[in-house]
């Protein structure tokens, strides 16, 4: 996309996103968009229907890009007055942990960007809004919600409703920040796109709008480290990895790229940042029906929408338009991309993740996805998979599924799946970790839980005691090599590892040689199975190199797309002593089979040197320590 045309195209797209919401405007103080309601109730959804499109209006109005600025300004003023009028205002009270707190932060940003809205309110409404905002800012939080009181109080300070000393500082978030600039969402070590549309969005945008240049100068280094890694989460078509909650926000995932471009932060050029963000936004046109944004992903209904999301939730897409704060003469819009900034090899992501940037045929993926230090109520497919890509959706399965490992104890029916991952190291392209496993309790052990405003029943998980599972992954080009060392399981327990899932209905093939073949370290028998989705040329291949004995194709349903998918699964039995399972997978847009996988050889050297695997132009050495193999010092030549 040419730099000279980029801003105009972003403005036009923003106007096209905003325009369909106009027919739902009214004088009640709430804007109700059609769609599935959230768990917060109708009034909260109506508030969200006003505040989220308002942020887009404010960004367009900042430099005169809004077509009917006077009409939109009058609507915003009238809606705030109507929402806060009367003895029982229609706007819900922003109590602790309630959705109106989030919308109060969004409204604060809009008022910082478009101050004419605040000035247009009469004194009585200003006082009511000040009290409402003060209530919203009163809560204390231990996750990304700490950013909402910060944003609200920063706006209040800017209009003289509070003193600078009362504005929350950001020291609490510092304990969640990693050396690479990634933030966990609180202390639970959950990493996702809240890094881009929250942690690297609210603080720098507030400081940018309030001209706190001293803070921004110190922050740029941190943002630069994050963007250097995060930039690699986008494939050549500029789609982003599909993982984590709130994917319905779509291209809001590019918010941190726009912030980095505004601040000139980091090693990635302004032109490259703008190009990635613009091309990502252009992919969303298929998600729109009757002009409105909805929860669909690439035009298909899925099962990925959380209960806290309402009909207007997708309008957090407005965060992807923050680049409009730069005027047309700004270098953000005049600098052409120079190319050559796509990373080569692996890129360290958040702790436990290995981001492997796209090659000509590789689709970007995350290596080990760290589930979190806190064991979940039930496993979540958006966090509990070993790998994610920009082109495949995880399946709906909870106790198994694609990109998953499971353990089934001998003579038992229940399957245990990975939960907590403790990363040991992640250097030289190798990430090594130890893994905890959980399984379902009986439905008789259901217990009542309180989430938001609704009561519901949920199963408690149970740990798989005593098992020790060490895993290492090596990724390069299109290949992911997985080494699984499983110990302390009864003889004959089953261990499985599964592939990526692709849409069912294309040509599928499963190598017959896999059935009944035992592939062990002593008698390597590398066999492959492959199937491809012909519609867009997506191909998945895999080889079982050691430990696995059977392979099967499994049908399931994609979480995001809601359509049938297929993946294959390797299964092997433990020997009663430490058992090494070795497998390799390839996810590619190429239509040809991988020569590297077809020609890989796995030979046993000796008790001192351990194992040597030759795969393509690389040699992988797995040392032996006593009676067992060791993943402590896996080496790649």
Domains contained in the chain, CATH given: 3-334 (1.50.10.10), 347-443+456-636 (2.70.98)
* Look-up of token digits 């089979």: 593
- Point out which residues pair with 587 in neighbouring strands: 540
Q: Among 314, 337, 373, which Cα is nearest to 18's?
A: 314
pLDDT of residue 318: 97
Query: Cβ of 116: how many Cβ atoms within 10 Å?
Result: 14
Q: Among 395, 390, 191, which Cα is nearest to 283's?
A: 390
Helix pair 270-282, 3-18: axis angle to 10 deg: 40
pLDDT of residue 168: 65
Question: CA distances (Å), 6 to each of 82, 269, 279, 395, in order?
Answer: 38, 16, 10, 36
Residue 272 near residue 332 (C-beta atoms within 8 A): no
pLDDT of residue 80: 98
pLDDT of residue 146: 94
Distance CA 586, CA 362 (A): 8
Distance CA 429, CA 346 (A): 6
Query: Cβ of 459: how many Cβ atoms within 10 Å?
Result: 16
DSSP string, 132-186: HHHHHTT---SSGGGHHHHHHHHHHHHTTSS-GGGS--SHHHHTTB-TTS-B-SG
Distance CA 628, CA 633 (A): 13
pLDDT of residue 291: 82
pLDDT of residue 632: 82
Distance CA 387, CA 370 (A): 10
Residue 398 near residue 377 (C-beta atoms within 8 A): no
Encode pLDDT of 123-182 as tens digits: 999 999 999 999 999 988 999 999 999 999 999 999 999 877 655 668 889 999 998 999
Query: Cβ of 59: how many Cβ atoms within 10 Å?
Result: 27
- Residues of the chain where predicted confidence (pLDDT) is lower than 50: 286, 443-458, 506-527, 534-535
* Look-up of token digits 């909870």: 398
Q: Is the C-alpha dihedral spanning 39, 40, 46, 52 positive or negative? A: negative
């Amino acid at each position: 996309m040419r730099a000279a045309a980029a801003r105009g195209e972003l403005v036009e797209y923003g106007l096209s996103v905003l325009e369909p919401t106009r027919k739902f405007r009214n004088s009640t103080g709430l804007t109700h968009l059609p769609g599935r309601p959230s768990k917060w109730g109708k009034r909260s959804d109506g508030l969200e229907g006003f505040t989220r499109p308002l942020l887009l209006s404010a960004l367009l109005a900042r430099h005169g890009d809004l077509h009917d600025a006077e009409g939109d300004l009058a609507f915003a003023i009238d809606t705030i007055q109507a929402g806060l009028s009367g003895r029982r205002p229609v706007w819900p009270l922003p109590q602790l942990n309630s959705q109106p707190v989030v919308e109060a932060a969004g409204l604060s940003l809009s008022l910082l960007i478009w101050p004419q809205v605040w000035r247009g309110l009469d004194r009585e409404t200003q006082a009511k809004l000040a009290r409402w905002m003060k209530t919203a800012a009163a809560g204390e939080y231990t996750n990304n919600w700490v950013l909402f009181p910060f944003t609200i109080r920063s706006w209040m300070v800017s209009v003289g409703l509070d003193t600078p000393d009362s504005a929350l500082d950001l020291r609490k978030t510092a304990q969640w920040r990693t050396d690479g600039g990634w933030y966990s969402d609180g202390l639970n070590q959950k990493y996702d796109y809240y890094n881009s549309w929250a942690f690297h969005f609210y603080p720098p945008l507030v400081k940018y709008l309030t001209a706190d240049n001293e803070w921004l100068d110190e922050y740029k280094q941190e943002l630069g480290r994050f963007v250097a890694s995060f930039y690699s989460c986008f494939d050549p078509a500029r789609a982003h990895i599909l993982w984590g909650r709130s994917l319905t926000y779509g291209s809001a995932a590019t918010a941190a790229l726009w912030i980095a471009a505004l601040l000139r932060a980091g090693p990635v050029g302004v032109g490259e940042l703008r190009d990635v963000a613009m091309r990502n936004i252009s992919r969303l046109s298929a998600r729109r029906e009757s002009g409105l944004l909805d929860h669909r992903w690439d035009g298909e209904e899925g099962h990925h929408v959380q209960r806290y999301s309402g009909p207007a939730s997708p309008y957090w897409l407005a965060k992807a338009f923050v680049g409009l704060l730069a005027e047309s003469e700004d270098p953000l819009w005049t600098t052409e991309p120079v190319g050559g900034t796509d990373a080569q090899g692996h890129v360290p992501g958040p702790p436990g993740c290995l981001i492997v940037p796209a090659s000509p045929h590789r689709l970007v993926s995350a290596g080990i996805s760290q589930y979190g230090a806190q064991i979940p109520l039930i496993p979540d497919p958006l966090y509990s998979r070993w790998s994610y890509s920009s082109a495949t959706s995880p399946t709906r399965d909870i106790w198994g599924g694609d990109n998953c490992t499971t353990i089934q104890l001998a003579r038992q029916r229940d399957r245990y799946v990975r939960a907590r991952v403790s990363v040991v190291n992640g250097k030289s392209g190798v990430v090594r970790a130890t893994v905890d496993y959980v399984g379902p309790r009986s439905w008789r052990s259901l217990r009542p839980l309180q989430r938001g405003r609704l009561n519901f029943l949920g199963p408690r998980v149970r740990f798989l005691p005593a098992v020790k599972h060490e895993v290492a992954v090596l990724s390069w080009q299109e290949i992911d090599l997985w080494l699984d060392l499983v110990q302390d399981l009864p003889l004959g327990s089953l261990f499985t590892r599964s592939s990526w899932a692709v849409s069912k209905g294309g040509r599928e093939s499963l190598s017959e040689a896999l059935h009944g073949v035992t592939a062990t370290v002593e008698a390597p028998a590398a066999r492959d199975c492959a199937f491809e989705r012909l519609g867009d040329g997506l191909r998945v291949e895999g080889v079982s190199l050691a430990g696995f004995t059977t392979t099967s194709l499994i049908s399931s349903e994609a979480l995001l797309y809601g359509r049938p998918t297929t993946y294959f699964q390797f299964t092997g039995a433990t020997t009663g002593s430490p058992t090494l399972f070795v497998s390799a997978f390839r996810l590619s847009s190429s239509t040809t089979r991988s020569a590297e996988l077809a020609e890989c050889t796995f030979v046993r050297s000796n008790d001192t040197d351990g194992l040597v695997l030759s795969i393509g132009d690389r040699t992988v050495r797995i040392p032996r320590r006593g009676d067992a193999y060791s993943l402590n010092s896996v080496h790649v030549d």
